Chains A and B, each alone.
Chain A
């Protein structure tokens, strides 16, 4: 994934920043949540397609289907290691499965929480950043609950 200055400027403006560090420096550092733009280069959910993840999901009998309307993003966390990535760098992506968990909804139905991560490494293979995702897939009853 190349870290591009134009993308940093676009992302900074879209999140309400007009900091000259982003807008005027061709080697701009990335904003804290910028690596969410990884979706232009790869699917961040690939950690959920590993045999380990598929087996774990089958074990709790998730079975809620893939209706996009029933998927909620619960949490995202970015961790940085070493120098903050900057425009002009190129990062290599790897995917990680961090676990699944079944939770009962308060008024029936249940939610499946999935945890997975994308790791960003530089040319020396040093880990520079991680994005940790938690998403929930609701059954219909749980979706009713989340609407109220």
Chain B
């Protein structure tokens, strides 16, 4: 991806995660330290009116983070924001999508602002957010220069 030219309005290549399993959920919970039982205890989730335990919002955010680091590199993140809009159920396949909103060049580095979403295979919104990555200016195309 290092030869990629980033410019305003560019659509990021789609990426798929899942289907999400209970193993994926408990592995993330163990890694992150968020052991909220609503994500793996079906009986507790049912007692609160849910059909079963549901996925972890920060795992969904983490998939979007991987979507981004695979595109922009692991050393470039400056800001990463996710809003949790919907629940994920076991077995669901998740689609990461995004677009470049703006670029700001400052010398050798260009800040790329992107908007992204994570949706289920049925098109239901799970997470939306935005982020900023500082990438080498030689792989960015600033507005008007194209």
Please indicate the chain A residues that have their CB under 8 angstroms from the CB of B24 in the complex: 14
Query: Across the interface, do B65 and A29 meet the contact criterion of CB distance under 8 Å?
Result: no
Query: Across the interface, do A16 and B63 meet the contact criterion of CB distance under 8 Å?
Result: yes
**Closest-CB distance, B9 to chain A (whole angstroms):** 23
CA distance A109 to B34 in the complex (A): 28
Sorting the interface of chain A by its residue count into under 10, 10 to 19, 20 to 34 or 35 or more gives 35 or more
Between A and B, how many residue pairs show CB distances below 8 Å? 112
**Closest-CB distance, B106 to chain A (whole angstroms):** 15
Q: For the complex, is B124 an interface residue (Cβ under 8 Å from A)?
A: no
The answer to whether A33 and B68 touch (CB under 8 A), given A69-B48, A80-B79, is no
Please indicate the chain A residues that have their CB under 8 angstroms from the CB of B81 in the complex: 75-78
The answer to whether A17 and B69 touch (CB under 8 A), given A73-B84, A78-B80, A80-B79, is yes
- Chain B proximity mask over A27-41: 1 for CB below 8 Å, otherwise 0: 011011100110110
Q: For the complex, is B122 an interface residue (Cβ under 8 Å from A)?
A: no
Please indicate the chain B residues that have their CB under 8 angstroms from the CB of A19 in the complex: 66, 69-70, 74
CA distance A31 to B67 in the complex (A): 11
Among B17, B31, B73, point to the contact of A37 (Cβ < 8 A).
Answer: B31
Query: Across the interface, do B32 and A36 meet the contact criterion of CB distance under 8 Å?
Result: yes
Q: For the complex, is A21 an interface residue (Cβ under 8 Å from B)?
A: yes
Query: Across the interface, do A73 and B65 meet the contact criterion of CB distance under 8 Å?
Result: no
Query: Across the interface, do B49 and A14 meet the contact criterion of CB distance under 8 Å?
Result: no
Q: For the complex, is B78 an interface residue (Cβ under 8 Å from A)?
A: yes
CA distance A17 to B17 in the complex (A): 11
Q: For the complex, is A79 an interface residue (Cβ under 8 Å from B)?
A: yes
Query: Across the interface, do B74 and A21 meet the contact criterion of CB distance under 8 Å?
Result: yes
Query: Across the interface, do B34 and A16 meet the contact criterion of CB distance under 8 Å?
Result: no
Query: Across the interface, do A15 and B62 meet the contact criterion of CB distance under 8 Å?
Result: yes
Please indicate the chain A residues that have their CB under 8 angstroms from the CB of B77 in the complex: 32, 78, 80, 84
Extra A-B contacts (18), CB below 8 Å, given A15-B62, A143-B49: A11-B31, A14-B27, A14-B59, A14-B62, A15-B31, A17-B65, A19-B66, A19-B70, A29-B74, A29-B75, A33-B61, A33-B65, A39-B34, A69-B48, A74-B83, A74-B84, A76-B58, A147-B49
Contact surface of A with B, Cβ cutoff 8 Å: 7, 10-17, 19, 21-22, 28-29, 31-33, 36-37, 39-40, 68-69, 72-80, 84, 143-144, 147
> Could you list 6 examples of A-B contacts with CB < 8 Å?
A19-B70, A31-B69, A33-B61, A33-B65, A75-B82, A143-B49
